[in-house]
């Protein structure tokens, strides 16, 4: 059972480039979300989804797009990378509608130069 | 979601109990208390959650005060592998969002 899988693990981008961070889960979870974590800080919610076709903004959505075409996948797109988006990105998933645990991926470390 | 307040850092000797406090004085009746931890730079790991009764699982115990305004996570026999940042989160029962604060950095020493 793979759980939550994020790819790539590391990425270096130039300012202005675009890219997609991948997140996949095999637990049939309805809820998926993306966080970013800057050095010495807690995690901040970027976007989330309560099911296929439904997405919503979190605390820090600017500069990021998401879509949810399947239950399993929740990609995060950086449209035009900026140095301020240098961070570690975590994807999480869980069942909805009940007090249950969330499962996190191992993170993608992104550097924008 | 209610805000939480945690100490920035704590130390604990290996083999001793680690007691991590959390203040959530504005918690509502339908909000649960969750604890997660993050070891080094890994993804956060779920530990335990509770509503108003004390809870225990294989990892830890959660003690919630009767007025629910504060709670304590107890690691009964801390090991070096328990060194991590511990996050206390208050979350509405049927909501799915987890809003993280800055957590408590627990250092377990030999």
Chain-chain contact of B42 with A107 (C-beta, under 8 angstroms) = yes
pLDDT beneath 70, residues of chain B: 1-2, 93-95
Check residue A80 and report its DSSP letter: S
Confidence at residue A96, expressed as pLDDT on a 0 to 100 scale: 80
Confidence at residue B95, expressed as pLDDT on a 0 to 100 scale: 64
Confidence at residue A7, expressed as pLDDT on a 0 to 100 scale: 97
> pLDDT 10s digit of each residue in chain A, 113 long?
679 999 999 999 999 999 999 999 999 999 999 999 998 888 999 999 999 999 999 999 999 999 999 999 999 999 999 999 999 999 999 988 777 789 999 999 999 99
Confidence at residue A72, expressed as pLDDT on a 0 to 100 scale: 97
* Residues B48/B62, Cβ–Cβ less than 8 Å: yes
Residue pairs between chains A and B whose CB atoms are closer than 8 Å: 57
Distance from CA of B101 to the nearest CA of A (A): 6
Confidence at residue A100, expressed as pLDDT on a 0 to 100 scale: 78
Chain B: residue nearest A43 by CA?
B100
* Burial letters B55-64, b for 16+ CB under 10 A, else e: beeeebbbbb
pLDDT in tens, B12-34: 999 999 999 999 999 988 889 99
């Amino acid at each position: 059972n793979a759980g939550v899988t994020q790819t790539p693990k590391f990425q270096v981008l130039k300012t202005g480039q675009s890219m997609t961070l991948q997140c996949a889960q095999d637990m049939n979870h309805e809820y998926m979300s993306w966080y970013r974590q800057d050095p010495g800080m807690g995690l901040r919610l970027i976007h989330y989804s309560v099911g296929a076709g439904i997405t919503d903004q979190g605390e820090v959505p600017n500069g990021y797009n998401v879509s949810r075409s399947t239950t399993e996948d929740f990609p995060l797109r950086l449209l035009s990378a900026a140095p301020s988006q240098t961070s570690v990105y975590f994807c999480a998933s869980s069942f909805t509608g009940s007090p249950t645990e969330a499962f996190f991926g191992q993170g993608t470390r992104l550097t924008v130069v | 979601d209610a805000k939480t307040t945690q100490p920035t850092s704590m130390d604990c000797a290996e083999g001793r109990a680690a007691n991590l406090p959390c203040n959530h004085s504005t918690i509502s009746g339908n909000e649960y208390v969750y604890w997660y931890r993050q070891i080094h730079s890994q993804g956060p790991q779920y530990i335990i959650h509770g509503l108003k009764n004390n809870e225990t699982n294989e990892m830890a115990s959660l003690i919630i005060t009767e007025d629910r305004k504060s709670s304590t996570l107890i690691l009964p026999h801390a090991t070096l592998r328990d060194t991590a940042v511990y996050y206390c989160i208050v979350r509405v029962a049927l909501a799915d969002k987890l809003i993280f604060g800055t957590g408590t950095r627990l250092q377990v020493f030999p």
